[in-house]
């Protein structure tokens, strides 16, 4: 008889994988033969720009990329990151001391908790927020405290509501703007305040800049590192997944505080032997090459946003227009919880959205919809919901 081996305590501490559950439920409805419009995930639906793909293809034929890559990534990629930040944000980055190449932003965000937190240390997380911040904290056996993101404060944390003793105990703070799931953006004044708070309480700030390219109405999202002193107190994590539709390529980077970068590089030395060299070559091409595809992408998401929000307004759903990211954060109608409303839309309209409670307690009363299908399909989703007669 085959033995059953017990999970480690680390695995038992991990939170439920929220998106895995959502995918399974969606597949059930699809298997019943329904045409499902899936707006529940954050998976870009458009292809990687052709010039980046061609760079990968050429680099894959180079024998140097058939060997192990340097442990901490090729210098040319780190230089490309430095050049990108100088060009995009007028921020100087030392490519050798202030850049860590990552196997996707998700891995880096989880590793940062393992690098910086000990058992029973405290980290501050946004609520609602990206669920995998909790995964890294659980792996470190640390404790989360939550910062409420409220509509009346433009979905920014109000630091004045956090008790002083909590701030004094906090070692790590996660931020994410443009924000998943609320689609809010942050200002330089907010980041300036964050730097001041972090210095006062000796907190390391992790700004998740996954949607850094996706700002609307001519507003370029602010980098945390554009605030004076930001590199003294933290790092910013940038992924190529959203900017260049490279989600499946698993390539990202962290930039900022040299000690944090050193810690990241150390833990990754024990986990990986860096990324496939051809992916690194393509990533450098993406960062320093022609950016017109990014401009076109922002235009596409803007059109989708505008047509989707108008279609929702046409059925009587009073939803705010997103400021950034590729999500819409939609209020649930009276009489439903977030999960009840999500289930109703899936079962009756065959439209998938993510319940706000999947992102934290303060997500109750909302659902998240991704602008990750054609404008026509987004309008069709709104029309299906309208036919339910709820609004």
How far is it, in rounded angstroms, from Cα 294 to Cα 390?
37
The model's pTM: 0.95
Q: What is the pLDDT of residue 2?
A: 87
Q: What is the pLDDT of residue 24?
A: 83
Q: Which two tokens stand for residue 190?
A: 């907010």
Q: What is the pLDDT of residue 135?
A: 94
Q: Give residues with Cβ within 8 angstroms of 27, minimum separation 6.
A: none
Decide if 319 contacts 367 (C-beta within 8 A): no
Indicate the pLDDT class of residue 28, thresholds 50, 70 and 90. confident
How far is it, in rounded angstroms, from Cα 108 to Cα 254?
8
Give the three-state DSSP class for 333.
Answer: coil
Longest dimension (CA), the chain: 64
Q: Which two tokens stand for residue 316?
A: 């009587």
Nearest C-alpha neighbor of 39 from the set 377, 389, 301: 377
Indicate the pLDDT class of residue 22, thresholds 50, 70 and 90. confident
Owner of token pair 């210095």: 199
Indicate the pLDDT class of residue 57, thresholds 50, 70 and 90. very high
What number is the average pLDDT over the span 172-178?
Answer: 98
Q: Which of 26-40, 199-213, 334-348 has the lowest mean pLDDT?
A: 26-40
The architecture in CATH of the region 9-47+293-386 reads Alpha-Beta Complex (3.90)
Domain assignments of the chain as residue spans, ordered by start: 9-47+293-386, 50-288
Q: What is the pLDDT of residue 15?
A: 85
The interaxial angle of helices 277-288 and 50-60, nearest 10 deg, is: 150
Owner of token pair 């990211």: 325
Give the three-state DSSP class for 126.
Answer: strand
Ranges of H-type helices in the chain: 9-13, 18-31, 50-60, 75-89, 105-116, 132-139, 164-169, 188-201, 230-233, 240-243, 258-271, 277-288, 292-314, 338-344, 375-386
Indicate the pLDDT class of residue 23, thresholds 50, 70 and 90. confident
Q: What is the pLDDT of residue 41?
A: 86
Nearest C-alpha neighbor of 256 from the set 183, 186, 175, 180: 175
Judging by beta carbons within 10 Å of its beta carbon (0-12, 13-18, 19+), is residue 61 exposed, middle or buried?
A: exposed
Indicate the pLDDT class of residue 327, thresholds 50, 70 and 90. very high
How far is it, in rounded angstroms, from Cα 234 to Cα 3?
46
The sign of the CA dihedral 157, 160, 162, 167 is positive
How far is it, in rounded angstroms, from Cα 108 to Cα 202?
21
How far is it, in rounded angstroms, from Cα 378 to Cα 312?
10
Decide if 290 contacts 270 (C-beta within 8 A): no
Residue 370 clears pLDDT 90, i.e. is over it: yes
**What CATH class does 50-288 carry?**
alpha beta
Measured CA angle at 59 (ends 53, 61), to 5 deg: 115
What number is the average pLDDT over the span 170-182?
Answer: 98
How far is it, in rounded angstroms, from Cα 186 to Cα 175?
10
The 10 Å Cβ neighbour count of residue 169 is 16
**Percent of the residues in the chain that have a pLDDT greater than 70, as a whole number:** 100
The interaxial angle of helices 132-139 and 105-116, nearest 10 deg, is: 30
Q: Which two tokens stand for residue 168?
A: 């004094």
Residue 20 clears pLDDT 80, i.e. is over it: no
Q: What would the pLDDT profile of 288-323 be if each residue is shown by its tens digit? A: 999 999 999 999 999 999 999 999 999 999 999 999
What number is the average pLDDT over the span 97-113?
Answer: 97
Give the three-state DSSP class for 322.
Answer: coil
CA–CA distances in Å: residue 9 to residues 106, 114, 310: 22, 15, 49
């Amino acid at each position: 008889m085959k033995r059953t081996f017990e999970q480690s305590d680390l695995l038992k501490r991990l939170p439920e994988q929220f998106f895995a559950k959502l995918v399974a439920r969606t597949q059930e409805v699809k298997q019943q033969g329904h045409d499902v419009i899936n707006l529940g995930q954050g998976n870009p639906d458009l292809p990687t720009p052709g010039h980046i793909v061609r760079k990968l293809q050429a680099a894959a034929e180079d024998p140097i990329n058939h060997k192990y890559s340097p442990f901490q990534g090729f210098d040319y990629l780190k230089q490309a990151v430095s050049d990108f930040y100088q060009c995009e944000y007028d921020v100087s980055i030392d490519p050798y001391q202030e850049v860590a190449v990552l196997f996707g932003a998700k891995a880096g965000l989880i590793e940062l908790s393992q690098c910086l937190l000990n058992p029973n240390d405290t980290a501050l997380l946004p609520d609602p927020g990206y669920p995998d911040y909790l995964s890294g904290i659980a792996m470190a056996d640390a404790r989360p405290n939550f910062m409420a993101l409220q509509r009346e404060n433009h979905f920014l944390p109000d630091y004045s509501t956090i008790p002083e003793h909590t701030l004094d105990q906090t070692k790590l703070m996660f931020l994410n703007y443009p924000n998943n799931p609320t689609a809010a953006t942050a200002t330089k004044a907010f980041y300036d305040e964050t730097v001041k708070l972090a210095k006062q309480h000796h907190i390391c700030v992790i700004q998740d800049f996954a949607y850094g390219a996706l700002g609307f109405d001519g507003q370029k999202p602010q980098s945390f590192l554009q605030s004076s002193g930001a590199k003294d107190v933290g790092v910013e994590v940038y992924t190529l997944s959203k900017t260049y539709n490279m989600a499946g390529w698993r390539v990202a980077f962290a930039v900022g505080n040299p000690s944090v970068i050193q810690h990241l590089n150390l833990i990754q030395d024990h986990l990986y032997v860096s990324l496939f060299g051809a992916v690194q070559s393509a990533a450098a091409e993406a960062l320093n090459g022609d950016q017109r595809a990014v401009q076109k992408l922002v235009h596409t998401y803007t059109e989708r946003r505008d047509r989707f929000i108008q279609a929702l307004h046409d059925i009587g759903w009073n939803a705010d227009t997103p400021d950034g990211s590729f999500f819409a954060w939609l209020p649930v109608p009276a009489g439903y919880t977030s999960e009840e409303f999500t289930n109703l839309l899936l079962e009756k309209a065959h439209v998938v959205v993510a319940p706000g409670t999947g992102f934290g307690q303060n997500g109750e009363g909302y659902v998240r919809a991704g602008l990750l299908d054609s404008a026509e399909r987004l309008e069709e989703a709104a029309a299906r919901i309208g036919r339910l007669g709820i609004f």
